[in-house]
Amino acid sequence: MAVKDVLARVRLHAKTVPYPLGVKLVGSTAKDTYVFPPDLDVFILFPPDVPRSELEKHGLALGRKVLGGEERYAEHPYIHGKFKGFEVDIVPCYSVDDPSNLKSAVDRTPFHTDYILSHLKQSQRDEVRLLKQFMKGIGTYSAEAKVQGFSGYLVELLVLRYGDFEGALRSAKDWREGLVLTLTEGGSRRFASPLTFYDPVDRERNVASALSLQNMAIFIRASRECLNHPDSRFFFPEPRRDWSRAHIAREMRARGTKLIVVRLPRPDLTEDNLYPQARRTLEGMQSTLESASFVVLDRSFSITRKTIDLVMELQAERLPAAMKHMGPPVTNEHSGQFVDKWIDAALVPPFIENGRWVAIVRRSHRTAKELLSNEMQKAALGKEMKGLKGMRVFSHAQLLKSGPRGSITELLDKTAPWER
């Protein structure tokens, strides 16, 4: 079997390293709670007194010998590759005696594996698989930045906490934001997260820290609806189909609102770096629009192989000539500069409103497209997107004619996966 083979190979090569190493299968394959396709996670445990540089050097070399593969980076670097058709990670870590003495975050993983192996009953393994597949189906599975959902370990803890799949759903349907869960006893730290689940192997850690309120709410909703109308579509939804141009045009005519898309070339980043930066850039686009009084009704982003599409729905894409330009408080000692600047240039020269200087000025960009093309670089953007190199902005009319149907459907189609 692939698992045995890969472990045997790692152990063989481990003997050539001048430290006493442990080799341990961890993760869902070790716990027998994986959903298809399983990933193999092999950890190489170094004694805690080995310098970090030595751990990285020997750990990566060992991984490369077994997998070839590529170097990736969590907190330590590790090697990712393929072995007999399976995705495999070979991860060097420290073998610590207690999870309160971690030398890095990955050192905790073997403890998680041991905890689940010793607490999860045989019969509960399939319950974990059910709940994982449910989470996958509704789109809330994975703690990665791309998803911001439930990690595999969190799913296992939920089954331990509620006994089985159905128990977890019956509880989730009544969850409130700010819920705090424990298996044994909680820690003393309080988290601002929408859900806190104190890690039984490290009580000052929240296993649900990556979970967004949005995904928590989707899980609550799906739990309610699945309990009322169980259906395999919660586990295996139909893929979303892109709307046709005619469908998009019909929808926009009914709404009377306007679309705008900013398209950026996709920077060469891992998904864990890319998604947060795309979200920040989306925020920057929205703040650029709103600070010029455009009303943003909805927004989303889509990442394709080559591009990032930032999509917004606006109340109007063209605004009147005049806009209010807020200046400093009259009490500000430099406020005279605002007055001097606008005294002749404004449509209505500076006057006082609630203690602040205000002028009514001619809008420099009447349309959202012009505004974004010229002003977006002033907003807070993702680090690798600050230059906005290669940015293109598409107006409503352009989008109806030849816009990216996938990205537009992503915004307009509010159907849940299980409703398709």
**SS3 at position 406:** helix
What DSSP element (H or E) covers 153? Answer: helix 152-162
Q: Token match 């007999």: residue?
A: 84
DSSP string, 109-158: HHHHHHHHHHHS-TTHHHHHHHHHHHHHHHT-B--STTT--B-HHHHHHH
Toward a second copy, which CB reaches closer, 3 or 347? Answer: 347
Which residue, 106 or 135, has its beta carbon nearer to a second copy?
135
Structure tokens at 339: 């007055």
Least Å distance between CB 243 and a second copy?
13
| Contact present, 380 and 287 (Cβ < 8 Å) | yes
Neighbours of 328 (CB within 10 A): 15
Half-sphere exposure of 328 (CA within 13 A, CB side): 12
3-class state of residue 296 by DSSP: strand
By beta-carbon proximity to a second copy, the closer residue of 86 and 175 is 175
In eight-state DSSP terms, residue 67 is: H
Number of neighbouring beta carbons within 10 Å of residue 420: 12
Beta carbons of 33 and 129 less than 8 angstroms apart: yes
Nearer to a second copy, 72 or 279 (CB): 279
Number of Cβ within 10 Å of residue 186's Cβ equals: 18
Q: How far is the CB of 304 from a second copy (least distance, A)?
A: 23
How far is it, in rounded angstroms, from Cα 134 to Cα 233?
9
Nearer to a second copy, 149 or 194 (CB): 194
Q: Tell which residue, 150, 141, 385, has the closest CA to residue 276.
A: 385
**Nearest CB to a second copy, comparing residues 117 and 322:** 322
Nearest in space to 314 (alpha carbons), one of 380, 390, 371, 266:
371
Q: Which is nearer to a second copy, 188 or 354 (CB)?
A: 354
CA–CA separation, 65 and 16 (whole Å): 11
Residues that bind a second copy (CB under 8 A): 174-177, 194, 213-214, 216-218, 220-221, 224, 254-257, 293, 295, 297-298, 315-316, 319-324, 329-331, 333, 336, 347-349, 351-356, 360, 412, 414, 416
Min CB(409)–a second copy separation in Å? 13
Residue 419 DSSP symbol: G
Q: How far is the CB of 276 from a second copy (least distance, A)?
A: 16
Q: Residue 263 CB, nearest distance to a second copy (Å)?
A: 23
Specify the length of the chain in residues: 420
Torsion of CA 325, 331, 336, 342, to 10 degrees: 10
**Rounded least distance, CB 341 to a second copy, Å:** 16
85 versus 256: smaller Cβ distance to a second copy: 256
Coil, strand, or helix at residue 53?
helix
CB of 139 to a second copy, least distance (A): 11
- The least CB distance from residue 322 to a second copy, in Å, is 4
Q: Tell the smallest beta-carbon distance from residue 289 to a second copy (Å).
A: 12
d(CA 226, CA 332) in angstroms, rounded, equals 59
CA distance 90 to 401: 48
Q: Which is nearer to a second copy, 74 or 326 (CB)?
A: 326
Which CB, 120 or 319, lies closer to a second copy? 319
| Residue 410 C-beta: closest distance to a second copy, Å | 13
